[in-house]
Amino acid sequence: MEQVEAKIVKRAQQGDAMAFAELVELYKDRIYNLSYRMLGNAHDAEEAAQETFLRVYANMKKYDARHKFSAWIYRIGTNCCIDRLRKKKFDASLDAPLDPEEDGADLYSIVPNRDRTPDESVVYKETRLLLQEAIEQLPTAYRAVIVLKYIEDLSLQEISEILALPVSTIKTRLHRGREALRSCLLA
């Protein structure tokens, strides 16, 4: 798969629009999921994912093939989310009304699961919403590593490459992020 991806990336770097479309198809769901977990709502996640692909397209020739493409695109996606979170802090008003239709649920949480009873499904959905709310309360630095590790299931080394931080810093942020999550959930 990596060899096929490398060929697609090389074609995209040479200006092949179809190759870039293939990359978008390969990564659109992963980048959207990353964005959703970091930003907490579908609208912002869609915009961050679009911004990610715009930045990838604009910087395609700068990609260094010695590194994994997935790490590069995740770094761009994470940075887009962090930029949005920074802007949101200044734009957010405590008096702004909340959208009653947006409860943080995603498509996966509303699809019935045959393995769970209705009661179990409700508990599962509520638990996911509580966890998402707790993740949203984390400082940006902790939120990024928690989402990349536990939601995207990336290794410490991959997270290190994406965030351009030493593995030791990633471990520290993971530990502190888990502690902060625990505090949020127990409060």
Render pLDDT for 88-140 as a digit per residue (tens, 0 to 9): 754 444 444 444 455 554 444 544 545 667 777 778 788 888 888 888 889 98
Evaluate whether 8 touches 56 at the Cβ level (below 8 Å): no
Backbone angles phi, psi at 115, to 5 degrees: -80, -15
pLDDT reported for residue 35 = 92
- Say how far apart CA 138 and CA 164 lie, in whole Å: 20
Render pLDDT for 135-186 as a digit per residue (tens, 0 to 9): 888 998 899 999 999 888 889 999 999 899 999 999 999 999 999 998 888 8
The CATH number, out of the four listed (1.10.1740.10, 3.30.1330.40, 3.50.50.60, 3.30.390.10), of the domain defined by the range 1-98: 1.10.1740.10
Evaluate whether 48 touches 36 at the Cβ level (below 8 Å): no
Q: DSSP secondary-structure letter at 104? A: S
Q: Where are the domains of the chain?
A: 1-98
